Chains A and B, each alone.
Chain A
């Protein structure tokens, strides 16, 4: 059923656009932006000062049925650009443009009324986080009905029917039942689909999607991207905003790369992904981890010096030898839900982590990977099974006796900011993590050393985590994990929240430290690219169970279990088709020194 081009349902809004569109050349661009500048006037007492430019001289063109991707990292101005195109640039925004034309209508200087008639009806807008964007107290059906009603579409009865139709069209199972449910009762993927359904309810000619898949698991992401592909095939133009090049590669016909509010490079997708010209684009592409980047550096950021550190560690590394450093057998954990049901979060998970090796645990949200990490760390007691650290029992023993062994196990959490006491500065955070009995003078020296080890300037010591960037915080977190000189570091989604180029630097650091200090990693992630870049062995988890385990080559090249095949298929299609394995960085100077 072709819902999106169904001409039997009148989609014209009641309040016709104020500006009568001039006849459009069917082959001309649907959207033309040229010389767009967006600045923000400082709020409060700063008012009156000149606006701070966020988007500078941006020019774009989008034709019917095409997809243009705006790629960039946080703060690049891509979201502001997108919001300006739906007339919602934000408070204090000053918008200037030589031309801002949509389907023959000039958009600059439109009033709020005119914007409202365009927005939703002719320009659809999908936001990143469906949970925040949907009203938690209203059913998703009524959300879609409202999108229709606000443009005077149909009657209450026909709107309700259309809402169910739309949910069905975007692939929400049991649409009639789901339409009556609230966002909280839907899964993340279903919520995102519902949001898309309300954005396309009136068959807009242009759909603007701001990071539409960022919060989704890979298999759900693949489904949502498939949905966008269908819409595009039916003639909808797409403006896709994303930081994720693998998402962009699957959908975009053209790509514009933004950095610091400026488009640094723009052109057909194949050319941008295959033969990027601008150094920033190259660096961005080189930063994407994957199987082809193993043993290679992802960034050109300088690596730290470990001179002082290696001396102390040299003896350790020498007599460390090989063997199993961390072992889990038959781990099981049940949680009781408020309704009294027992939910088995982890069921029979076993693995062995060899010295100097990296074991990846892959799975989607709710697969039990974080609970497994908590049991390994001794933060949650397993209901069955045991954890052994360096041959000693680590689970099921009193905390008092476990405490002595804890130094061998470091942890880097997902959100570094919340993992630091907000009252403490970096120096105190690191000093607190040093082994007991270190003198004050020695502690000061070691803190400097730790900061050096993670390539942070010594001045960071006196700052508070809140004043650090995301990448710096994660480095402090790694430094803290290293402070007690551990043998194993558990990294729970440690790079997931970082921008791709920052992630590249942190991954480079992790690879470097692993080689220099002889560390073993238990690396938990939902990102298969990161896993295949960093890990030696992989454990695939689904619904609390290990569905497949093996070396990274086996898992990624010869997956056996249907779920692994689905997972890898969903992710890898993009990498193979577009990003490929070109050396975007100069290979000679980026060889991994530890490889």
Chain B
């Protein structure tokens, strides 16, 4: 009976049990979802990088004899009003849709990091100004902002990227600001100050890494959200316009035939949903993995 029993480290719970029991548990329970998400993500990436590997059909080839054909072996997703193969169009639209989504998420996050950092680390007056700006922007409807942007620049993929980025950035900026403020007020930053480390080094070594860490997964999840947003804009005619196979544009084009050829809207819609789910699932697993790494 040594004194160690009194002050034993929590290793039993954290180090021993975690890998064996809990990690195995999460691994097994999460595996089917994770595997499925990874497979789909790989398919999406393949479609974006090399659409030719998935389909040899030209997405623009007209075949008026087979217009509005239901899904079949020849046309797995059916054809549209001009007989274009929907599967080929969805595959070829991946690059643009994914690109717009990724671009919007990246621009949004970059904007958010800058705004959030300034709102928490800048001089006092700037902090106040930027914080209020973020709040105003947060309260402003995203769609209205997008409309404004489109009205100024005209509908295009670039407009779509920026409209979505500006619309979603304030939410993330607020999150980053909160994270930074929390890290800034933490006891470990105080300890570093007391050790005499310069403030710049403290921000670089403690504040930013701890604040940004949880955002890695947020970024992955925001891709899904951005694609949904971008597709909505395209659907409303505020982005890439219809002959383009961008998914939102496909939805828009199929809207007219929703009664006679529902696959024209259902299939692109499902694809958008699947991508959003895949991005969210992967983001979530990333977050769990990071949290485990912290232990």
Point out the residues of chain A lying under 8 angstroms from B196, CB to CB: 403-404, 406-407, 484
Q: Are B21 and A42 in contact (CB under 8 A)?
A: yes
Fill in one digit per residue for A362-383: 1 if any B CB lies within 8 Å of its CB, else 0.
0000000000000001110000
A70 and B145 alpha carbons, distance in the complex (Å):
65
Fill in one digit per residue for B172-197: 1 if any A CB lies within 8 Å of its CB, else 0.
00000000000000111011111111
Chain A CB within 8 A of B288 CB: no
Residue of B nearest to A465 (CB): B188
Which residues from 1 to 50 on chain B have a C-beta closer than 8 Å to any C-beta of chain A? 1, 3, 5-11, 14-15, 21-22, 24-25, 28
Which of A77-85, A223-231, A497-505 makes up part of the contact surface?
Answer: A497-505
Chain B CB within 8 A of A423 CB: yes
| Given A44-B21, A299-B3, A502-B7: A411 and B194 interface contact (C-beta under 8 Å) | yes
B positions within 8 Å CB-CB of A? 1, 3, 5-11, 14-15, 21-22, 24-25, 28, 186-188, 190-199, 205-206, 209-210, 213, 294-295
- Please tell me which one of the listed residues A407, A421, A466 contacts residue B210 in the complex, with CB atoms under 8 A apart: A421
Min CB distance B291 to A, Å, is 10
Q: Are B210 and A423 in contact (CB under 8 A)?
A: yes
Q: Are B6 and A499 in contact (CB under 8 A)?
A: yes
Chain B CB within 8 A of A73 CB: yes
- Please tell me which one of the listed residues A44, A45, A413 contacts residue B187 in the complex, with CB atoms under 8 A apart: A413
| Given A467-B9, A499-B7, A501-B6: A379 and B194 interface contact (C-beta under 8 Å) | yes
Min CB distance B36 to A, Å, is 22
Chain B CB within 8 A of A279 CB: yes
- Please tell me which one of the listed residues B5, B7, B188, B295 contacts residue A466 in the complex, with CB atoms under 8 A apart: B295
A378 and B24 alpha carbons, distance in the complex (Å):
47
Point out the residues of chain A lying under 8 angstroms from B6, CB to CB: 73, 75, 499, 501-502
Q: Are A377 and B7 in contact (CB under 8 A)?
A: no
A422 and B294 alpha carbons, distance in the complex (Å):
7
Q: Are B7 and A423 in contact (CB under 8 A)?
A: no
Point out the residues of chain A lying under 8 angstroms from B188, CB to CB: 418-422
A428 and B281 alpha carbons, distance in the complex (Å):
33
| Given A411-B194, A418-B186, A467-B9: A505 and B21 interface contact (C-beta under 8 Å) | no
A472 and B6 alpha carbons, distance in the complex (Å):
12
- Please tell me which one of the listed residues B7, B21, B192 contacts residue A470 in the complex, with CB atoms under 8 A apart: B7
Point out the residues of chain A lying under 8 angstroms from B195, CB to CB: 406-407, 432-433, 480, 484
| Given A419-B191, A422-B210: A45 and B24 interface contact (C-beta under 8 Å) | yes
A-B contacts, 12 of them at CB < 8 A, read: A42-B21, A399-B199, A407-B195, A411-B191, A418-B187, A419-B190, A419-B191, A421-B188, A421-B205, A470-B7, A471-B7, A472-B7
A404 and B195 alpha carbons, distance in the complex (Å):
10
Q: Are B190 and A413 in contact (CB under 8 A)?
A: yes
Residue of A nearest to B295 (CB): A466
Q: Are B15 and A467 in contact (CB under 8 A)?
A: yes
Q: Are A467 and B21 in contact (CB under 8 A)?
A: no
Chain B CB within 8 A of A293 CB: no
Residue of B nearest to A415 (CB): B187
A468 and B195 alpha carbons, distance in the complex (Å):
22
Q: Are B10 and A469 in contact (CB under 8 A)?
A: yes
Q: Are B21 and A423 in contact (CB under 8 A)?
A: no
Residue of A nearest to B8 (CB): A469
Fill in one digit per residue for A296-309: 1 if any B CB lies within 8 Å of its CB, else 0.
00011100000000
A399 and B3 alpha carbons, distance in the complex (Å):
43
Fill in one digit per residue for A471-515: 1 if any B CB lies within 8 Å of its CB, else 0.
110000000100010000000000000110110010000000000
Point out the residues of chain A lying under 8 angstroms from B198, CB to CB: 403
Q: Are A259 and B1 in contact (CB under 8 A)?
A: yes
A586 and B1 alpha carbons, distance in the complex (Å):
17
Known A279-B1, A406-B194, A420-B191; further 13 A-B contacts with Cβ < 8 A? A44-B21, A45-B24, A280-B1, A379-B193, A419-B188, A420-B188, A423-B294, A432-B195, A464-B295, A467-B295, A471-B7, A505-B3, A505-B7
| Given A418-B186, A422-B210: A301 and B3 interface contact (C-beta under 8 Å) | yes
- Please tell me which one of the listed residues B187, B194, B206 contacts residue A378 in the complex, with CB atoms under 8 A apart: B194
Residue of A nearest to B14 (CB): A467
Chain B CB within 8 A of A409 CB: yes
A461 and B10 alpha carbons, distance in the complex (Å):
16
Min CB distance A91 to B, Å, is 16
Point out the residues of chain A lying under 8 angstroms from B11, CB to CB: 467
Point out the residues of chain A lying under 8 angstroms from B25, CB to CB: 44-45
A498 and B3 alpha carbons, distance in the complex (Å):
13
Point out the residues of chain B lying under 8 angstroms from A75, CB to CB: 6, 8
Chain B CB within 8 A of A321 CB: no
A484 and B195 alpha carbons, distance in the complex (Å):
8
A44 and B24 alpha carbons, distance in the complex (Å):
11
Point out the residues of chain B lying under 8 angstroms from A469, CB to CB: 7-10
Q: Are A467 and B194 in contact (CB under 8 A)?
A: no
Min CB distance A445 to B, Å, is 20
Point out the residues of chain B lying under 8 angstroms from A340, CB to CB: none
Min CB distance A411 to B, Å, is 5
Of the candidates B6, B21, B28, the one having the most CB atoms from chain A within 10 angstroms of its own CB is B6
Of the candidates B7, B21, B209, the one having the most CB atoms from chain A within 10 angstroms of its own CB is B7
Min CB distance B144 to A, Å, is 34
Point out the residues of chain B lying under 8 angstroms from A472, CB to CB: 7, 9
Of the candidates A45, A75, A406, A415, the one having the most CB atoms from chain B within 10 angstroms of its own CB is A45
Point out the residues of chain B lying under 8 angstroms from A409, CB to CB: 194
Fill in one digit per residue for A394-437: 1 if any B CB lies within 8 Å of its CB, else 0.
00000100011011011101010011111100000000110000
Residue of B nearest to A412 (CB): B191
Point out the residues of chain A lying under 8 angstroms from B7, CB to CB: 469-472, 498-499, 501-502, 505
- Please tell me which one of the listed residues B10, B22, B187, B197 contacts residue A467 in the complex, with CB atoms under 8 A apart: B10
Q: Are B213 and A423 in contact (CB under 8 A)?
A: yes
Min CB distance A243 to B, Å, is 11
Q: Are B21 and A501 in contact (CB under 8 A)?
A: no
A242 and B213 alpha carbons, distance in the complex (Å):
40
Min CB distance A195 to B, Å, is 29
Min CB distance A475 to B, Å, is 10
**Which 9 residue pairs of A and B lie closest in terms of their CB atoms, listed nearest first?**
A406-B196, A469-B9, A471-B7, A419-B187, A418-B187, A502-B7, A403-B196, A421-B188, A411-B194
Residue of A nearest to B196 (CB): A406
Of the candidates B5, B188, B213, the one having the most CB atoms from chain A within 10 angstroms of its own CB is B188
Which residues from 489 to 547 on chain A have a C-beta closer than 8 Å to any C-beta of chain B? 498-499, 501-502, 505
Of the candidates B9, B21, B294, the one having the most CB atoms from chain A within 10 angstroms of its own CB is B9
Point out the residues of chain B lying under 8 angstroms from A48, CB to CB: none
A75 and B11 alpha carbons, distance in the complex (Å):
14
Point out the residues of chain B lying under 8 angstroms from A499, CB to CB: 6-7
Chain B CB within 8 A of A46 CB: yes
A499 and B209 alpha carbons, distance in the complex (Å):
33
Point out the residues of chain B lying under 8 angstroms from A379, CB to CB: 190, 193-194
Min CB distance A351 to B, Å, is 19
Chain B CB within 8 A of A330 CB: no
Point out the residues of chain B lying under 8 angstroms from A89, CB to CB: none
Residue of A nearest to B28 (CB): A45
Chain B CB within 8 A of A260 CB: yes
